[in-house]
């Protein structure tokens, strides 16, 4: 039973759930098997939230949440300054981390990107989700860029004011990120 697992961390209102949904949709459009689900609790803007994505070539049966992920995407680096969320996020044995924030050499197995900067440049808003996905695709090969772009278009089709900027931001993240 093998699938590639992703955990998205962020604060409520930043687009964590949407980012996970877009990745799931991209995998779906590619013909892969997918599971995606958010974690719920008492909700408020700014509360730490998690979303999970599993991608595989075979049917995914296990519906429980992911404790040890292959990739951890942190949309809000400030979560790593708080002890409680820091411990939860870093409690991973095999994950590669992609973090929106300044480079911090203490954190192992991680790469950093100024996703907020790119998002602000093209969206005038700090919604780094799509940018992070662009960078993520450089770290994992399970989803092709063309499908991710298509998924962004489909998901944001009802919000044209966000679509254009995000597509540009996505392209910059994907081409620039190493």
Partner 1 sequence: MRALINGNYAVSYAMMQINPDVCASYPITPQTQIIETFSKYVADGKVTTENILAESEHSAMSACIGASAAGARVFTATASQGLAYMIEVIYIAAGLRLPMTMVVGNRGIGAPLLLHCDYSDSFLARDSGWIQIYCKDVQEVYDTTLMAVKITEETKIPVMVMMDGFYTTHGEQVIDTLSTKQAVNFVGKKPKWPNMLDSKITFGNVSLTDSNIEVRERQWRDLANSSKSILGIQKGFEKFSKRNYGLYESYGLKDANTVFVTMGSSYQAIELTCQELRKKGKKVGCLRPRVYRPFPYNELRAELKGKKIIVLDRAISHGAEFGPMGLEFQGMGREFYNVVYGIGGRDFGLEEAKDLVGKFLKGKQKKFQFYGLRKDLKN
Q: Note the residues at the interface with partner 1 (CB under 8 A).
A: 1, 21, 24-25, 28, 33-38, 40-41, 59-65, 67
Write down the least CB distance from residue 147 to partner 1, Å.
12
31 or 105: CB nearest partner 1: 31
Cβ within 8 Å of residue 88, ≥6 positions away = none
Helix 160-176, helix 115-123: angle, nearest 10:
140
* 3-state class (DSSP) for residue 21: helix
4 or 110: CB nearest partner 1: 4
* 3-state class (DSSP) for residue 161: helix
1 or 83: CB nearest partner 1: 1
Would you say 34 and 143 are in contact if contact means Cβ atoms under 8 Å apart? no
What's phi and psi for 124, nearest 5 deg? 60, 15
Write down the least CB distance from residue 164 to partner 1, Å.
25
35 or 110: CB nearest partner 1: 35
Write down the least CB distance from residue 176 to partner 1, Å.
30
């Amino acid at each position: 039973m093998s699938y590639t697992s992703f955990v998205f961390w962020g604060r409520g209102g930043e687009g964590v759930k949407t980012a996970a949904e877009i990745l799931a949709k991209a995998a779906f459009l590619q013909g892969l098997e997918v599971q995606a689900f958010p974690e719920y609790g008492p909700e408020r803007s700014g509360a730490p939230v998690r979303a999970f994505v599993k991608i595989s070539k075979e049917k995914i049966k296990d519906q429980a949440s992911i404790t040890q992920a292959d990739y951890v995407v942190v949309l809000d680096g400030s979560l790593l300054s708080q002890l409680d969320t820091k411990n939860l996020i870093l409690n991973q044995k095999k994950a590669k981390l992609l973090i929106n924030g300044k480079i911090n050499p203490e954190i192992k197995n991680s790469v950093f990107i100024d996703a907020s900067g790119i998002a602000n440049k093209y969206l005038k808003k700090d919604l780094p989700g799509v940018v992070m996905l662009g960078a993520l695709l450089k770290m994992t090969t399970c989803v092709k860029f063309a499908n991710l772009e298509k998924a962004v278009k489909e998901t944001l089709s009802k919000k044209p004011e966000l679509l254009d900027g995000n597509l540009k931001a996505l392209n910059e993240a994907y081409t620039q990120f190493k």
